[in-house]
Amino acid sequence: MADGGQSFTDAITNAALFARLNTIEYLDWLSARNKTVNEALPQFLHEFTHHWCFDSIVGNAIAMVRMRAQRCALVDAGAHGPQILGDVVRARAAEIVLRPLAEGLALFAEFDIVPGRGRILSRTSMAAMICFGVPIPEGKHGSHTAAELSLMVLLQGTRLRPDFLKRKTGVYAMPYEYEHGYLSGYLAVKALWSVLAARVAALGDKDGFLAFLRSWIYDDPVLAMAIVSEDADHPSRPIRTIGQRVYDRFACLINAPDLVAIVDQWMAAVEAGAPVHASLGSSQVEIDRASEAIFRLISRDVRDTGPLGQLAEHAWTTQAERKYCVLGSLESVVICREGKFHIESADATFERGELPMPDGRFEGEVYIVMPSRLNCLLICLAATDGEVYLLTSYGNTSDLEPSELTGHILNRKNNEAIHALLAKALKQMRSVGEATAIVTKNRTMLCDQIYARLATLHTKEAHIAGALDLLRKKGLLSVVDSDHALLRAVAAVGLANTSGSDSVSLMFFSKSLGLEDGLMEAAIRTASERHGMRLLLPGTRYGGATALV
């Protein structure tokens, strides 16, 4: 399903663009769900993980701080100059420090997670099951539900494809840097998983680990407070404060003597649908303080009777609607007749939903919407008569807020134009560019203290500096001395580990991925450790190996 372009998720609106998900083909598939949609699945896992991370107290803090700077720049930049610069510095510092983590988690979702092996399902896995699952008879299939097995089949089918191995190998061969943060983030997340899983059995489940690590950082009210809090006397001090807080969170995680209890308490809270802050080491007071501070960013300006107040109201709406993920949309005629509706542009026919529209012919725009905190997928029509119709739904819609959803769909295009205008106003301030450059200049210092240490958790102390020098050239390709075949084999071991780490699993993936005979075995012999950096952990009982990168 390729229609070109670059997928991305906007950190302010939290709107995701799935460039390779063709809406017409997806609707046609969705009407029957009779085959897999592997081409679209990897980018969905990646971008939805971003969306999930940004839909958090930390994500809200970054978005609302930047939106305040934008509306003040648009309305009266001269009157709000110091505040605008302070907001930009804090938002930019947080974006820089968290960028590698966001990319690392998204790549970990693509390359490593397998649902149903632990107590917790990540929101990414749940969303993928709803949006891409194929019919499997209900009931238990071993220890898995039908939905979990459906996603497992999709994931394995994706990871057995040579082009997917090429993608992972391509990430391995990227230079280690922080501006884009792909390799630096992935190596950090993967190394952290292997270290923590050795201490806590529950974190051996990579899907549960993904959810836990995302929560550990993005649900942290102290980090959110650092992003929101102004320091008029020392506007650059928050840069260090934000970086230090992220560093401290990772250090606490690695060194926690009671990590088993922390993880167990967190998982119990998730299972019960209860707040998780206590298990993460935060108090209700800290949660309330951060939430109120984010609230005040908007409430102060709402009282203004002019444009500033109107733009603050727009920020309220943005914050409320950041939980909606639109997979795609298209203009179409929809025909409703005899309990079914037909989307002409996609030539797809569906059973009508719970709130059926009357029989007839309607014109408008069809939207595929995933309310990311709920377990449901919606197909809606924004008709030219001004109504929004829920055509059909998949999953549980009992907690859906129809009026909010309607507003999100009806105002979507207008809101996109407002966001573009706000971003342009801020960008045009020369002082903002200078402030951003100051923060960006500190990128390596901020990120090295966090991610360089995490990425080299399996590197001998005396070799860390040398390994990082190699990584900064051509990534792991430099570490394996430019042996492309060996790099492919290491990447393939990681993909095979989603099925198992034994020699049989590795052999199966090796054949399916078209690797040369004996290449994986050669990799285990010669690439388990290179330049003091451990890449693979050879198996002890049944052969095989576990990828540490």
**pLDDT truncated to tens, each residue of the chain (549 aa)?**
334 468 899 999 999 999 889 999 999 988 888 776 668 899 999 999 999 999 999 999 999 999 999 999 999 999 999 999 999 999 999 999 999 999 999 999 999 999 877 889 999 999 999 999 876 655 554 566 777 788 888 899 899 999 999 999 999 999 999 999 999 999 999 999 999 999 999 999 999 999 999 999 999 999 999 999 998 778 788 999 999 999 999 999 999 999 999 999 999 999 999 999 999 999 999 999 999 999 999 999 999 999 999 999 999 999 999 999 999 999 999 999 888 899 999 999 988 765 567 889 999 999 999 998 999 999 999 999 999 999 999 989 999 999 999 999 999 889 999 999 999 999 999 999 999 999 999 999 999 999 999 999 999 999 999 999 999 999 999 999 999 999 999 999 999 999 989 899 999 999 999 999 889 888 998 989 999 999 999 987 667 899 999
Residue 80 confidence (pLDDT): 92
Tokens of 380: 């809606």
**Listing from the earlier edge strand, what are the strands of the sheet with 324-337?**
348-351, 340-343, 324-337, 360-371, 376-383, 388-395
- Rg of the chain (C-alpha set): 24
Residue 152 confidence (pLDDT): 85
Tell whether 105 and 247 lie within a shared domain: yes
Strand intervals (E) in 304-461: 324-337, 340-343, 348-351, 360-371, 376-383, 388-395
Tell whether 301 and 361 lie within a shared domain: no
Q: How many CB atoms lie within 10 A of CB 195?
A: 16
In a domain, 132, yes or no: yes
Tokens of 199: 């201490």
**How many independent structural domains does the chain possess?**
3
Count of alpha carbons within 13 angstroms of residue 308, beta-carbon side: 18
Distance between CA atoms of residues 44 and 130, nearest Å: 12
Tell whether 368 and 492 lie within a shared domain: no
In a domain, 457, yes or no: no
Tell whether 340 and 307 lie within a shared domain: no
Contact 44, 370 (CB under 8 A): no
Residue 87 confidence (pLDDT): 96
Tell whether 400 and 291 lie within a shared domain: no
Tell whether 103 and 226 lie within a shared domain: yes
Tell whether 357 and 300 lie within a shared domain: no
Distance between CA atoms of residues 15 and 367, nearest Å: 13
Tell me the backbone φ, ψ of residue 324, rounded to 5 degrees: -95, 135
Tell whether 107 and 200 lie within a shared domain: yes
Residue 4 confidence (pLDDT): 43
Tell whether 343 and 266 lie within a shared domain: no
In a domain, 183, yes or no: yes
In a domain, 511, yes or no: yes
Which DSSP letter does residue 460 get? Answer: -
Residue 137 confidence (pLDDT): 59
Residue 419 confidence (pLDDT): 95
In a domain, 214, yes or no: yes
- Indicate the residue among 376, 401, 433 that finishes a domain: 433
Please name which of 135, 206, 157 lies closest in space to residue 40, comparing C-alpha atoms.
157
Q: Which residues, 6 or more positions from 268, have their beta carbon under 8 angstroms from its beta carbon?
A: 279
Residue 262 confidence (pLDDT): 98
Tell whether 300 and 339 lie within a shared domain: no
In a domain, 350, yes or no: yes
In a domain, 417, yes or no: no
In a domain, 461, yes or no: no
Tell whether 249 and 334 lie within a shared domain: no
Report the 3 state secondary structure along 25-81.
HHHHHHCCCCCCCCCCHHHHHHHHHHHHHHCCHHHHHHHHHHHHHHHHHHHHCCCCH
Which DSSP letter does residue 306 get? Answer: S
Tokens of 181: 């943060």
Tell whether 33 and 101 lie within a shared domain: yes
Structural domain span for residue 515 = 482-548
- Beta pairing class for 529-530 and 533-534: antiparallel
- Indicate the residue among 410, 442, 464 that finishes a domain: 410
Strand intervals (E) in 396-466: none
Distance between CA atoms of residues 32 and 328, nearest Å: 18
